Amino acid sequence: MLTRLDACLSEPLRQGSPVELSRGRLLVGILGMLLLFNLLALFFYVGRSPDPLRTGVVQFTCLVIFLATLWRLRRASSIRVPAWILSFLVTAAISVESWKAGTQAVAVNTMAMLVPMLTVYLLGVRWGLFFTLLAAANMGLVHPYLFPPPGGLALNLFSALFVLCGWLVSWMFLASRDEADAALEQALRTLRESEEQLVSLVDSTDDPVCSLDTVGRILTLNQAGAELCRQLFGGEPLPGTSLFDALSPGQRALWKERAQRTLAGERVRVQQGLTLEGRPRVMDINLNPILGADRRPVGMTLFGRDITALKEAEARLGETHRNLLDVSRHAGMAEVANGILHNVGNTLNSVNVSAGLLAQRLRNLRVSGLTRASEMLREHAQDLGAFFSRDPRGQQLPQYLELLSRHLSEEKEGLLAETQMLDQNVEHIKAVVAMQQAHARVTGMVEQVSVPQLLDDALRLHAASFERVGIQVRTDYAARLPLVMVDRYKLLQIVINLLSNARHALLNSHRPDKHLSLRVERSPGDRLRIQVADNGVGILPENLPRIFTQGFTTKEDGHGFGLHISALSAEELGGTLLCMSAGPGQGATFTIELPVNGGEPRN
């Protein structure tokens, strides 16, 4: 109902003080009721009246005046003139009706109480007294003079007194309401002062601060935010306009999606890369919901902070930390290599001794005597019986062969023992090497890594090439991401390879709005999902199953190793590397999923 009443008021009246707004609503309501009664009189009373023509003219004239007064309210900045017209019409109508009827009952009708109640509220105490005195004078003096009542003036005078009492009561009510209005005005003034202090405090900060309504229109914007908008968009947005209108279509859709997540109750934090005054900057932007009395979002706040210096300091600190890790790793590798060389060297000494003994004992084997014995047997193959019975050499040959076989058996046992010792030493060397290989596969310098920071490092390596060819980079990192136990260098190499492939896909697409996005979020199963998406040339559906196959490539100068090695590295980190594409010209999205606490690496 209030909405329909407000629709009949002008914008200044709707935006005015609460008191003026309530007066305007009352005025519209009374005019509406009078119009209704006027229409009923035109349709049902004029034809039955003693003088239809005069009654119809009067009713039509009133109808025109009421409609004109409503029309005036749609364009007036104050209700003063319409209220005065209405008060005059009501007072005149009551008086004229009493003269027309000419009876005391009509003259003292309770309708006269409308005059003080209506006029005091709409016009104030003085004008209310003026119209009340007119109604009371008509009731107590004019009407009895024109139409002397048969029962005397008492009833007329008492009725006039009651009308004046009605004005007095209305005055008291108005005075008490004015007191309340003064208290309300003081409260509003205090609220405005507090608001001005808050605005001054917000303006004093160097960080951009902005408040938005539920559809993204600007409510407040501090000086730092206005300056940032001037640098980005070439002008300061006006209050009431949408903050997202100046963005490109892709950025506008992205920020509207983030705004919807914020209005759903989520606190959204993103790091946005910008170019201000020709220099790359990094802004940390927080979107927080503004909750109403029923704990439902009624808007949102946007806080920005330039963290370029912090990012550079973090990069330098991270580089120093990685250098220390490299030095530590090389020192550990040297120590491990020294231990391996020491163990293998000692074992090689034993191997050399065993090999020397084997060579010496093999040289000392009495194989030549066995050869001579076989030659003698071959020479006397025709008369072996005579050779063994009469020839002295034949008679000694069996005893010689017995001694020779005993000697060869002893040498065999010795050689087998020495060979077993040599085999044990070789197995020891193999065990030392295998143990080192196993340690090299498992450890791989696993450390706690902040994935957003690692992605920023990878982007920094490609920043110049991206900017040179006009590729817009977007990052969307979920809030409160955990650290991941992973081999930093393997993961960095995977991301760098994916960024390089995305750059080639965007260069070959010839699109004017080249953009690349990196997204990090938690996924089910205590895992972390990293997505690298572009709007480049896309991938044919028949090529998707072979994209990670060794040697497969669609580049003219490609070798087909990068994605294959990246997929293998992801498996070694305990994760997976997947690819999705809607087809040619639709871009591609590569997804890396890693265990948060570090998975069991795969060989």
Query: What is the secondary structure of 447-466 as a DSSP string?
Result: EEE-HHHHHHHHHHHHHHHH
Separation of alpha carbons 562 and 549, rounded Å: 10
CA angle, 423 as apex, 335 and 441 as ends, to 5°? 40
Average pLDDT of each block of 10 consecutive residues along the chain (603 residues)? 82 79 83 84 76 78 84 83 85 83 79 85 87 89 86 85 89 80 76 74 79 85 83 78 81 87 88 80 88 82 86 77 62 56 64 75 70 76 74 74 77 79 72 56 69 88 80 90 87 89 88 90 90 93 87 71 85 91 92 78 42
CA angle, 124 as apex, 119 and 127 as ends, to 5°? 65
pTM here is 0.35
Half-sphere exposure of 578 (CA within 13 A, CB side): 10
160, 354, 355 from 358: Cα distances, Å: 145, 6, 5
Beta-strand pair 472-477/515-523: parallel
Separation of alpha carbons 83 and 130, rounded Å: 14
Beta bridge partners of 209: 303
Q: Which domains does the chain have, with CATH numbers?
A: 2-185 (no CATH), 206-305 (3.30.450.20), 312-442 (no CATH), 446-595 (3.30.565.10)
Amino acid identity of residue 272, one-letter, is Q
pLDDT of residue 601: 43
pLDDT of residue 428: 65
pLDDT of residue 559: 64
Half-sphere exposure of 364 (CA within 13 A, CB side): 12
Please say whether the beta carbons of 138 and 107 come within 8 A: yes
154 sits in which H/E element = helix 154-204
Which alpha helices (H) appear in 234-307, and where do they start and end? 249-263
CA angle, 177 as apex, 176 and 180 as ends, to 5°? 95
pLDDT of residue 498: 92
pLDDT of residue 206: 80
pLDDT of residue 439: 47
pLDDT of residue 441: 47
Q: Residue 206, by phi and psi: left (phi above 0), alpha (psi -120 to 50) or beta?
A: alpha
Residue from 573, 601, 553 nearest 494 by CA: 573
Separation of alpha carbons 364 and 327, rounded Å: 54
Please say whether the beta carbons of 535 and 509 come within 8 A: yes
Alpha-carbon torsion (426, 427, 431, 437), positive or negative: positive
Instruction: Give 262's contacts (C-beta < 8 A, 6+ positions apart).
Output: 268, 287, 288, 289, 297, 300
Instruction: Give 151's contacts (C-beta < 8 A, 6+ positions apart).
Output: 104
